[in-house]
A and B are shown apart, each in its own frame.
Chain A
Amino acid sequence: MRETDLLVVGAGAAGLSAASEAAKHGLAVTVLDDNLLPGGQYFRRLPTGYHHTHETVFDKERQRANALYATTGQKGITYLNDAVVWESPENGVLAFARGADSGRIRAKLTIIASGAHDRPAPFPGWTLPGVVTAGGLQNLLKGQRVIPGRRAIVAGNGPLVLLVGATLARAGAELREVVEAAPILKRLAGSIADLIAMPKIVRQAVDYRLAIMKSGARLRTGWTVIEARGADELEEVVLAPIDATGKVDRSRARAVKADLLVVGFGLMPSIELVRLLDCKLEWKPLRGGWVPVRGADFETSRPGVLAVGDGAGIGGVEMALREGKLAGVIAAERLGKLSRDQAANLKAPIQAEIAKVETFRRGLERLYAMPPAFLDLLTPETIVCRCEDVTAGELRARQDAGFGSTAALKGTTRTTMGRCQGRNCLRTLSALIAQASGQPIEQVTMPRPRLPARLVTIGDLLQEELPPIEMPKDPHLPRGERVS
């Protein structure tokens, strides 16, 4: 079995910052990531054969990005791309699928920097080709420089809405409407004192807004998408005003022709690994929902396992970079490469920066906080589980028939059991159960974590060289009871 001092899962902003810092202080670090290229989501990289001929508005982060990519070749770091971490067969060991190189790795310390994904926000028509997530749109821009449509609408709740609007405007799409559900203009005065803790981001947001206005698109706040229409692809989007409690005013709904709808209703931490490791979770709606409980020094409830970045609670890229760096110092200290004093000196300035980002986040959360209101949008035909084609009507009928729990609804409809492993439906399923039972959503039981944490092929796993399994002599005996 391979061994390493520090194992980092995720080569995004958080994971690479952690790895770089830890290696700098002399740790042997292994980084596993399931993408072909390093960078994670925010620093998604163009194909290596593409060349920049000159700087454009989309290259503002190139310096930071290149510095981050370079850490994969840094002394002391082993970076394995295209490696899906799927299981933890024993304490301190993680198993990964990587074609012929699949295997297991034992680490003295593990940092989970697994990032996030878009929160599903179902509404009629959200499954049509041409409806994409805000994260997905940004990835296509950064990783491919491709825009997946032309006449575009952006709708959602959160800072990515303005960003995506600006992206589309600058890319030359025919941007029609940008609609943000929260009444952010009205709330700005109450948030600005905290927001200016990160003045650069505030300036960026102003630029995004200007780019949207300049494109001729309408920017509406307190509006949302309520329906997407089209035969085989998106053709039309219906928008309507929404009040601060989430109630939609259908009498003022407007249909707008479009072939691209980008939806961004916030992000959810990718918690499959911390769940697999049996780490305690807590419900923090403003940080994306379920997040691992972390003690001082980012340690989860499982000793030796730290969690940082968006995977530990949505904090954005500036938080991810700094949490990662701090975790690198923490790891070096814990494994004896830094004295307590040395570590304390390194930690202090990073902690001061994190405090600033925290202040900014508080402002941001006040600005954008909205009750999730999508349940009112669901018609009986609206798909809830995209993989298994299960509709809201089917689920509600089962609920009415007495199948009230997560397990019962899962068992009778296959919701959460498809390829996405519940990422696109579990939150909706829990919300439906909470609505019917009157419980708060965080009291709805989650399904048990199942292997694999992310999908892998049996073919990959067969490549792994393992010691022969010890079988009981009598195959009818239960496992573990061996006859000698």
Chain B
Amino acid sequence: MTGFRITDGIDRGTAFQFTCDGESVTAYPGESIAAALMAAGKRQTRVTARRQMPRGLYCGMGVCWECIMIVNGKPAVRACMTPAEPGMKVETQHGVGDPA
């Protein structure tokens, strides 16, 4: 496991689950998709269109668009700017995110 949550001093409320590429991921109310995934050790969010390179969170502030994923079927959603929700279906985005 690589990433982690700092727990000292913070009560995050009640955890819930969403899925990423079919696997269950834990998140807390208001937590961004990217933060929840990184706390679960998953850092690759997309694979680029032209060279099939892996990418992940880079700017962390919504301006680089490297963290885009397919969320509930909608492509190009920024994982760093979007709160996770219970039952959400998140997928790694390949290229522009056309359905496979």
Contact = CB atoms under 8 A, between A and B. Distances in A.
A418 B68 CA distance: 13
B3 A136 contact: no
Contacts of B3: 146-150
A278 interface: no
Interface stretch (A33-41, A85-93, A182-190, A198-206): A33-41
A418 B4 CA distance: 31
A50 B30 contact: yes
A144 B4 CA distance: 11
B10 A47 contact: no
A133 B58 contact: yes
Interface stretch (A52-60, A70-78, A331-339, A435-443): A52-60
Contacts of A145: 5-7, 10
Contacts, number: 162
Interface residues of A, number: 60
A364 interface: no
A56 B10 CA distance: 9
Contacts of B48: 389
B13 A129 contact: no
A127 B58 CA distance: 8
A478 interface: no
Nearest to B61: A139
Interface stretch (A94-102, A341-349, A419-427, A468-476): A419-427
Interface string A125-161: 0011111110111111101111111100000000000
**Dominant SS among interface residues on chain A:** loop
A417 to B, nearest CB: 13
A112 to B, nearest CB: 16
A400 interface: no
Contacts of A53: 9-11
A51 interface: yes
Contact of B43 (A41, A52, A144, A233): A233
A61 interface: no
Interface centre among A48, A55, A133, A418 (most CB of B within 10 A): A133
Contacts of A51: 10-11, 13
B87 interface: no
Interface in B1-57: 1-13, 28-32, 35, 38-39, 43-45, 48-51, 53-57
Interface of B: 1-13, 28-32, 35, 38-39, 43-45, 48-51, 53-66, 68, 76, 80-81, 83
